[in-house]
Amino acid sequence: MARLHKAEYPLPELTYGEDWKESYDRQCEVLDRLEAASAANDEVKGTVLDFPVADGSAHYLVTSAKPLTLQHIPFADGYRIPVAHIRGITAADVLQQKRRSRALRELFAKKA
């Protein structure tokens, strides 16, 4: 059973008044680094999880394996999943999502 970290992951905020693409690109750089670090390890801690929501995804970082703790990453629209969903996530679920993500990356890498 997972917990939700009290604070959000510190992403650069989207700045209104400037070109939206510049703000978005700054957030993408941070999320890309987190996802690359997640892909490079086989641990539960440090894994980035994403869940489809509306026209995007809700992103979370596993900050602790015991107790399993997820930290919301407020990327772009800042989509979230319900806290009840978070409570139902187990370490086995995290590793399964990690395996699926790795398999998809390898599949698309072969096509390129």
Task: Count how many domains the chain has.
Answer: 1
CA-CA-CA-CA dihedral for 46, 64, 28, 85, to nearest 10: 120
pLDDT at 112: 58
pLDDT in tens, 42-94: 999 999 999 999 999 999 999 999 999 999 999 999 999 999 999 999 999 99
pLDDT value at 14 more than 80 = no
pLDDT of residue 20: 83
User: How far apart (Å, rounded) are the C-alpha atoms in residues 85 and 97?
Assistant: 15
State residue 63's pLDDT score: 98
User: What is the domain range of residue 99?
Assistant: 3-111
Category of 111 on φ-ψ map: left (φ > 0), alpha (ψ -120 to 50) or beta: alpha
Structure letter (DSSP) for residue 13: P
The model's confidence at residue 37, banded by pLDDT at 50, 70 and 90, is very high
pTM of the full predicted structure? Answer: 0.92
CB contact set of 75 (below 8 Å; sequence gap of 6+) = 11, 27, 31, 57, 59
Up-side HSE of residue 18: CA atoms within 13 Å toward CB?
9
